[in-house]
Each structure stands twice: as C-alpha cells, then as structure tokens.
Structure 1
C-alpha cells in the first residue's frame, strides 16, 4: 500500500511540475489567481509565447486587453498591459524585446487572433494606454483601470 501511495504521489508531483512548465497552463493560472473573482470570471485566450516573452488576450466583466508577460526565475510575470500596441513588432522592440523576439511574438499573435471573433478582438483593442506592471505590485497596478471598455 505504501508503494502505491508513493507512486501516486510521484505521478501527481510530476504532473504538477509539467503544468507549471507549460506556459499555456501556467500563465492563465497565474492571471486567474491575481485577478479572477467568483462574480467576475477571467477569460485568458489566446496565449502566444516566443522565447521568454508571451502576449495574452484577456476578457473580464465586459472589458479586455492584452498583457505582455516575461518569464523570470520566479515564473511568468506581467510586464505591462495594453491594447492594440502589443500587436506591433516595432512597439515590442521599443519596449525592450530583441528584433527577433518582437517579430516572432507579433507574428504568432497575428496567427492566434486570426481565428477569434470580432467581439473578442474589440475588447482586446479597448484597453486604453499602457500600464506598466512589476512583480512588487502583485497585480495592484490593475486597479483604477475599470473604465477601459466603457
């Protein structure tokens, strides 16, 4: 019996480690912990990744936008939130991505968003301006931006 429990525990830990390493699971999970509430579910899609950078589209309570994420030794962190500006490779380079990473991320985002409906794209575009985030904010930088989709 102890052997079976040990095997099951090992399998569970291995599956949890794999989920933490998979940005398609780790990024939405992190954002949901930070921002989702029972009365306001958070929809995260698409999640596009290139090197140590990702752009995710988010929708919540009639609002939306895009978040630029960066992988650090602590996992994925929100670098900044914006709207359509994150679709542009030149803007991504200005933010600090290499030309290769900026072009790769922009191309992947274009492909991922090609299959989305126009209402999702409109919400992503509705985020006004750019909000820089940092790990110390723990998501507090999101406060005060409730009017983006209004």
Structure 2
C-alpha cells in the first residue's frame, strides 16, 4: 500500500511540475486562478510564447482582450492587458521586448489568431486602452484588477 501511495504521489508531483514547465498549460491555469469564477468561466486561447514573454487571448462574460505576460522566478505574471496594440511588434518593443522577441511574438500571434472565429477576434479587439498590472514586487499595493471577473 505504501508503494502505491508513493507512486501516486510521484505521478502527481511530476504532472504538476510538467504543467508548470509548459507555458501553454501554466499560463491559462494562472489566469483562471486569478480571474475565473464558477458563474463566469474564462476562455484562454491562443497562447503564444517567445523567450520570457507571452501573449494570451482571453474571453469572459461577453468581454475579451489580450494579456502580455512575462516569466519571472515566480512563474508567469501578467505585465499588462490590452487589445490590438499587442499585435504590433513596434509596440511590443516599446514596452521592453527585444526587437527579435517582439517580431517573433507578433508573428506567432498573427499565425495563432489566423484560424480563430471572427467573433473571438472582435472581443480581443474590443479591449480599450492598456491596463498595467501589478506584480509581486509591488507588495500587493492597489492592483485594481480584482473586479475584472465581477
């Protein structure tokens, strides 16, 4: 019995580690943890990654947008939320990505969104402006994103 429990524990830890290592699983899980509620499911797709940066499209309760994420030693953190501006390599470079990472990320996003339903693209585009998100370095000071899922 102890052997079975030990094997199950190892399998659980291995699956958790692999989910944390795979940004295509870790990013949606992180966003859902932060913003999903039982009555307002959060759809995360597509997710594209280049180096330590990622863009994830999101839809929830008739709204949508794109999130720019950065990988830190704490995992993936939301850097900002916006709409169509995150499709532009020049904008990504101004935000702080290297020219190469910005170009690659914008190209990956274009490819990933090419096959999406026009209604999903319209929701991504509907996000007005840019909302900077707080990270762990801010010591939790006034993040202002708690009401997103309300």
Residue 137 of structure 2 corresponds to residue 141 of structure 1: no
1:27 corresponds to which residue?
27
After TM superposition, the score normalised by the length of structure 2 is 0.91
> Match of 1:101, SS?
helix
Residue 58 of structure 2 corresponds to residue 55 of structure 1: no
Runs of 4+ in 1 over 6 A off after TM superposition: none
Where does structure 1 lack aligned partners over 5 or more consecutive residues?
A: none
Cα RMSD of the aligned pairs, angstroms, is 1.8
How many residues end up aligned between the 2 structures?
146
Residue 85 of structure 2 corresponds to residue 85 of structure 1: yes
> Match of 2:116, SS?
coil
Q: Aligned in 2, Cα 1:138/1:38: closer, same or farther, shift over 3 Å? A: farther
In the alignment, the residues of structure 1 paired with residue 83 and residue 118 of structure 2 have an alpha-carbon distance, to the nearest angstrom, of 14
2:70 corresponds to which residue?
70
After TM superposition, the score normalised by the length of structure 1 is 0.91
Where does structure 2 lack aligned partners over 5 or more consecutive residues?
A: none
In the alignment, the residues of structure 1 paired with residue 61 and residue 141 of structure 2 have an alpha-carbon distance, to the nearest angstrom, of 20
Q: Aligned in 2, Cα 1:139/1:79: closer, same or farther, shift over 3 Å? A: farther
1:95 corresponds to which residue?
95
> Match of 1:106, SS?
helix
In the alignment, the residues of structure 2 paired with residue 134 and residue 15 of structure 1 have an alpha-carbon distance, to the nearest angstrom, of 29
In the alignment, the residues of structure 2 paired with residue 76 and residue 25 of structure 1 have an alpha-carbon distance, to the nearest angstrom, of 11
